Structure 1
Amino acid sequence: MTAAQNTNSVRIDKWLWAARFFKTRALASKACDLGRIHSNEIEAKPARDVRAGDMLRIKNEGGEFHIEVLQLSEIRGPAAVAQTLYRETEASKEQRQREAAERKAMQQYAPLPERRPSKRDRRRIIQFRTSR
């Protein structure tokens, strides 16, 4: 049994990293600071404790997830283990699949670029993506 399993709460940024919603703990912490993480419908700060049974709303590049925390962990393990830490609601799964299908359909109608983006174009693309 790990130290995290002996306690009944874990910092939310550590748990999000361990559950593989974010690649680094710093990204998980930044998402909390930007208001992209809600715990029981309350905006979560990085140091907020998460407990088994909490309902989380997580916005990341994969979409918006509505999940229930099943287990706690501070240790990042394999993806198969990380998926046992939470359960996603059916409505959340359906919504993410619907949005993915819409994005895929919209790509068919998007015009292909005439050339590769210049350095200036790439900077503008990166600035646009991070400003949301």
Structure 2
Amino acid sequence: MIEEAVPKQRLDKWLFFSRTVKTRSLAAKLIEGSKVRVNRVKIDKSSYSIKVGDVLTIRLERSVVVYKVAGLGVRRGPAPEARLLYEDLTPEVSPTDRQENVISSGPRPTKRDRRHLLRFLKQEM
């Protein structure tokens, strides 16, 4: 049986070409930190080969994006060219859900609030 050669590309290169990250070294760190999944499988090697049709789940600093690979890049071109490399499948997040993910639950504490907190923490010790 003769298998047809399916075009593939390194995952770190694709992340760089699609403008998901700024540099290939950042792409490699993202992948090695197990923050990228290909077809629901955690990937930890930047040399992993992806092909058209693969679904990538990428956990960035403040969000999670889901991309379906629509093409393989040849270079890091302008943003309109990079958008042709993927189909964005990221689910829409409602404004109320966005507010729930925020860590702080109110305005910044005042100096008085910080003093009370420090006093409370000293009493605990």
Same fold (TM over 0.5): yes
Q: Deviations over 1:51-95 (max 9, x none)?
A: 000000011135101111000014111111111111111xx2413
Gaps of 5+ in 1: 1-6, 115-132
Please give the per-residue CA displacement for 1:29-56, whole angstroms capped at 9, x wherever unaligned: 0010000000011112200001000000
Q: 1:94-121: CA deviations, max 9, x gaps?
A: 13x648842797778231676xxxxxxx
Tell me which residue corresponds to 1:110: 107
- Following superposition, which runs of at least 4 residues in structure 1 exceed 3 angstroms of deviation? 97-101, 103-108
* Separation in 2, partners of 1:34, 1:52: 24
Any residues of structure 2 matched to 1:43-54 within 5 Å, and which?
43-44=42-43, 45-54=45-54
Q: Percent identity?
A: 28
Q: What is the match of residue 57 of structure 1?
A: 57
CA distance in structure 1 between the aligned counterparts of 2:55 and 2:42, rounded to whole angstroms: 12
2:76 is the counterpart of 1:83: no
Which structure shows the bigger proportion of residues in helix conformation? 1
Letter paired with 1:102: Q
1:66 and 1:88 in contact (8 A); partners too? yes
Q: Which runs of structure 2 are paired with 1:22-61 in the superposition (5 Å)? A: 22-44=21-43, 45-61=45-61
- Check 1:101–1:24 CA distance in 2 against 1; reply closer, same or farther (3 A cut): same
Instruction: Please report the RMSD computed on the Cα atoms of aligned residues, expressed in angstroms.
Output: 2.6
Distance 2:105 2:73 in 1: 41
Classify 1:107/1:42 alpha carbon distance in 2 versus 1 (closer, same or farther; 3 Å): same
| Structure 2 residue 55 is matched with structure 1 residue 94 | no
Larger-Rg structure: 2
Q: Distance in 1 between matches of 2:106 and 2:25?
A: 36
TM-score (norm 2): 0.71
**What TM-score do you get using the length of structure 1 for normalisation?**
0.68
